[in-house]
Chain A
Amino acid sequence: MSTKTERIIGAEAVVRSLLAEGVEIAYGYPGGAIMPIYDELYKYQDKLHHVLTRHEQGATHAAQGFARTSGKVGVALATSGPGATNLITGIADAQIDSTPMVCITGQVASHLLGTDAFQETDVISISSPITKWNVQVTKAEDIPGAIAKAFYIAKSGRPGPVLIDITKDAQLSELDYSYEKCTNVRSYQPVPTTDIEKVKEAATLINAAKKPMIVFGQGVILGGAEQEFKAFIEKSGIPSAWTVLGLSALATNHPLNVGMVGMHGHYGPNKLTNECDVLIAVGMRFDDRVTGDLSKYAKQAKVVHFDIDPAEIDKNVKTDVAVLGDSKDTLGKILEFIEEKDHSAWLQQFRDFDKIEFEKVINGQLNPTKEGLTMGEVLQGINKATNDDAVIVSDVGQHQMMAVRYANFTHTRSNVTSGGLGTMGFALPASIGAKMGAPDRHVVAIIGDGGYQMTCQELGTILQTGTAVKIVVLNNEFLGMVRQWQQLFFDRRYASTEMTNPDFVKLAEAYSIPAKKVSARGDLQGAIDEMIACKTSYFLEVMVEKEDNVFPMVPTGASVSDVRLE
C-alpha cells in the first residue's frame, strides 16, 4: 500500500473515499451540518453524480433501488437532525431486505454534542437496531478508515445498511489523507466456513427424497448464485418455489419454477409445503408471511437450510441439516454429490394445483369477463410489451402482490420491492435508483394510488435527472390491501381506506412527464406499448376494479395448506 498522503479537509476526504470505493452515484439532500461535504461534491461533480431527491426517504429508497439492480452499494447522504431521521424508514427497509447501503449523515460540531444543539439528533442510537453497523466520526483523520470499513461491512456476508455520522468539525479540519480498502474486521466473520460434511449430509437427504421441494429467497441473488442454483435444480429435478424477494433469481417460465410461497403465493407450493418429504430452503429466512402458522408448517418434512447467516438457522423453523456459507459456494459444492433425478410425477402435483388456481383465480385476472380492469391484465400487458424482461419495481399493497404474481422475468435482479418492511412509498424513488443501476433496461414502477402519494414528490427528481422510468399507478381509489382485510375480517367496515384522489395525469404533466389515463380495456395494451416505446419517463394511470381482492390467500394465523382461493 502506498503511504503517500495529502493534506486535505475531512469533507474532501469523504468524497475522495467514496470515489476510491468506486461510487459514481449518490442520492441525498443537503443541509447545514453536511454543507462542507456538498461543497466538495460540487468540486467533484464530474466524477461523482449527486442526485438531489425531494426527501431524504427518497434518497434511501433510490439508493436501495440502485443497489438491487446493480449489485453495488447504494449511497445516501443527509444532514443532521430531520435529515437524518428522514433516512430511518429506508434504513430499516434495507436492513430487513439485506440491501447494501452506506448512509452518511452530517452532525453538529463535536463540542456541541449532547447540548441539544440546533438539529442535533442522536442518529447513532436511533439507527442502531436497524443498521448492520454504524459509527460516529468526530476526527477528520478517522474518516477514510470509517468509510472503508463501512463499505466492506455493507457489502460483505449478508449485506445491509451502515451509517456514518460525521461531525461538522471533522468535515472541516485537515487530515493526512490516504486510502486503504478494508479487507477484514477482526471481530467480524462475514461468511461462515462451509462444512463439507454438511454439504454431503444435505445431498444424502436430497437424493433419498421422493417429494422434495425447494423454496429459494434473495440469498441466491445476493450470492450471485443464479447459475449454480439452476444447475442444482436441473440436476436434482426438484420443483422450486420462490419467496417475494427470491423472485427473478430463476426465470419465471423455467419448467421447475412452481411459483410463489406465502400469504399470496400460489396454490400448489403452499399446499404441497405440507406434503413434501424434504424441504430445501435456499437463502431465505422463513418469514411469517411465508410460513403462516409455524406449528403447522412442513411438520412432515426434513428441512435442509442453506444460508450465509448462522442466526437464521433454527430461528423460525427447526432444521435437520444446515449448510452454512455463501450460496454460490455451497450450491456449487453440492452439485457433484447430487444424483440426477426426475420428479415429474411429483412436479405434476404442482401443475394439477396450478390448473385449479388458473380456473378459480388467474383466468379471472387475465381474461376478465367483468367490465372493470384487473391488475393482472395490466401486468400481462407489460410482460407482452417488454418480452418478459422488464425490471419491475413495486410498491406495497394489492398491486404489489399482483405484480409479483403476474409479472414474468427472464433476468435476475429484476424484481425490486419492499418485502420485509412493506414500505408504502418505496417504489417511485426506488425506480429512479433501479433505472440508474440498470440504465439499459426497461424499469417499470407499479404503484397503488395510496403509496404513490407517499413519495410522489420524487417526480421532481425524475424531472431534474431525466430518468426514463415508467410509472404505472393502479388506481382503485382505495387503500386496497387494507380494504381487502376490512372486507374479509372486519365485516366490510371500510374505515379510512377510501381515497379521493387528485388528477394524477395533471400532476405528472406538471413535472413535464408524458401522461395518460386508461379506463377501458380496449385502450390498455396500446397505452402500455406507447409507454414502453417512449424514450423518456412516462406516467400511466390505470383505473382498475375498485373492490377486487388478491387471491390465493393464507389468512394470518392459518396454515399454508389452508390457503384460500376465494
Chain B
Amino acid sequence: MEEKKLYTISVYSENNLGLLNRISTIFVKRHINIESLTVSASEIKDVSRFIVVVKMTETAVKKIIGQLEKQVEVIKAYYHTDDEVIFTENAMFKFKSDLLFENPQIQNIIKEHSMNIITVNRTFFVVEKTARRPEIEAIYKAFEPFGIAQFVRSGRIAISKEAMNIRKILGEIVQ
C-alpha cells in the first residue's frame, strides 16, 4: 500500500464567485477530507490562491491536481510535501483576566512560546501565536488545565521553496 502523506496543494485561480464551490466539490466527491483550506489574494492582481492541506497518497494527489487544473478558471495547481514549503498557522486563545493573576504559569507559557498579547482588559485577554501545528498543540495542552475561554486556529498558509511562475503561465496562455 502506498503511504498517505500530508500534502499542501496550492491552487492559483481567477477570482471567481463560484470557484470555491467547484474546488471543494472535487474533494468531497472523492471522500477526501480537507485538513485545512485557506483562500486569499496572491502576488498577482485578481488572482486568488487556495491552500488546501490533505492527507493522501501521491498517486491520488496527482489525480486531484489533474481535476483541479481541469477547471476553466484554475490557472495552475501544485502539490508539495512539508519539506518543499515554508508554512505556518495562526492560533488565538482567550482567557478570563482573573486567571492571569491567579496562575503565574500562564505568563510563563506566554513567554516561553514568545506569544503576542493582542488585547488585555478587565474581563478577558487574548494571546496569539503564529507557528506550526505541533507547537500550537503543545501550547494548547499547556493552557488547557487553566480553562481556555475560546480557541481558534487558522488553516495552513504556505509558500513554496520552488518558483511558481504563474505570471509566465498566464502570459503563455494569452498569446
Interface residues of B (CB under 8 A from A): 13-14, 17-18, 21-22, 25, 29, 59, 62-63, 66-67, 69-70, 72-75, 170, 173-174
Bound CA–CA A134/B18 (angstroms): 8
- Please tell me if A132 contacts chain B, counting CB pairs below 8 Å: yes
The contact sample of 30 A-B pairs, CB cut-off 8 A, is A124-B18, A125-B18, A125-B21, A128-B22, A133-B73, A135-B18, A136-B18, A184-B173, A184-B174, A185-B173, A186-B14, A186-B173, A186-B174, A187-B14, A187-B74, A187-B75, A187-B170, A187-B173, A188-B73, A188-B173, A309-B70, A310-B66, A310-B69, A310-B70, A311-B70, A312-B66, A313-B66, A314-B59, A314-B63, A315-B66
Contacting pair A128 B173 (CB below 8 A): no
Q: How far is the CB of B15 from chain A (nearest CB, A)?
A: 10
Q: How far is the CB of A123 from chain B (nearest CB, A)?
A: 11
Contacting pair A129 B22 (CB below 8 A): yes
Q: How far is the CB of B31 from chain A (nearest CB, A)?
A: 14
Q: Which residues of B contact A184 (CB under 8 A)?
A: 173-174
Bound CA–CA A67/B66 (angstroms): 27
- Please tell me if A2 contacts chain B, counting CB pairs below 8 Å: no
Q: Which residues of A contact B70 (CB under 8 A)?
A: 309-311
Bound CA–CA A83/B70 (angstroms): 28
Bound CA–CA A185/B29 (angstroms): 27
Residue of A135, A184, A311 most packed against chain B (CB within 10 A): A311
Contacting pair B25 A129 (CB below 8 A): yes
Bound CA–CA A311/B71 (angstroms): 11
Bound CA–CA A189/B69 (angstroms): 9
Bound CA–CA A186/B12 (angstroms): 12
Bound CA–CA A432/B29 (angstroms): 34
Contacting pair A129 B74 (CB below 8 A): no
Contacting pair B72 A153 (CB below 8 A): yes
Contacting pair B72 A187 (CB below 8 A): yes
Q: How far is the CB of B144 from chain A (nearest CB, A)?
A: 39
Q: Which residues of A contact B62 (CB under 8 A)?
A: 314
Contacting pair A311 B63 (CB below 8 A): yes
Q: Which residues of A contact B74 (CB under 8 A)?
A: 187
Q: Which residues of A contact B21 (CB under 8 A)?
A: 125, 128
Interface string of A117-153 (1 = CB under 8 A from B): 0000000110011001111100000000000000001
Chain A residue nearest to B62 (CB atoms) is: A314
Interface string of A288-313 (1 = CB under 8 A from B): 00000000000000000000011111
Q: Which residues of B contact A311 (CB under 8 A)?
A: 63, 66-67, 69-70
Contacting pair A128 B63 (CB below 8 A): no
Bound CA–CA A124/B20 (angstroms): 12
Contacting pair B73 A187 (CB below 8 A): yes
Interface string of A89-133 (1 = CB under 8 A from B): 000000000000000000000000000000000001100110011
Q: Which residues of A contact B72 (CB under 8 A)?
A: 132-133, 153, 185, 187-188
Contacting pair A129 B29 (CB below 8 A): yes
Q: How far is the CB of A121 from chain B (nearest CB, A)?
A: 15
Q: How far is the CB of A163 from chain B (nearest CB, A)?
A: 11
Bound CA–CA A135/B74 (angstroms): 15
Chain A residue nearest to B175 (CB atoms) is: A184
Chain B residue nearest to A316 (CB atoms) is: B63
Bound CA–CA A492/B18 (angstroms): 47
Q: How far is the CB of A250 from chain B (nearest CB, A)?
A: 28
Q: How far is the CB of B29 from chain A (nearest CB, A)?
A: 7
Q: Which residues of B contact A132 (CB under 8 A)?
A: 72
Chain A residue nearest to B170 (CB atoms) is: A186
The 7 closest A-B pairs by CB, nearest first: A311-B66, A133-B72, A187-B75, A188-B72, A129-B25, A311-B70, A128-B22
Starting from the known contacts A186-B170, A187-B75, A314-B62, 10 additional A-B residue pairs (CB-CB under 8 Å) come to A133-B72, A134-B18, A186-B14, A186-B174, A187-B72, A187-B73, A310-B66, A310-B69, A311-B69, A314-B63
Q: Which residues of B contact A125 (CB under 8 A)?
A: 18, 21
Q: Which residues of B contact A189 (CB under 8 A)?
A: 173
Chain A residue nearest to B174 (CB atoms) is: A186
Contacting pair A187 B174 (CB below 8 A): no
Bound CA–CA A355/B18 (angstroms): 55
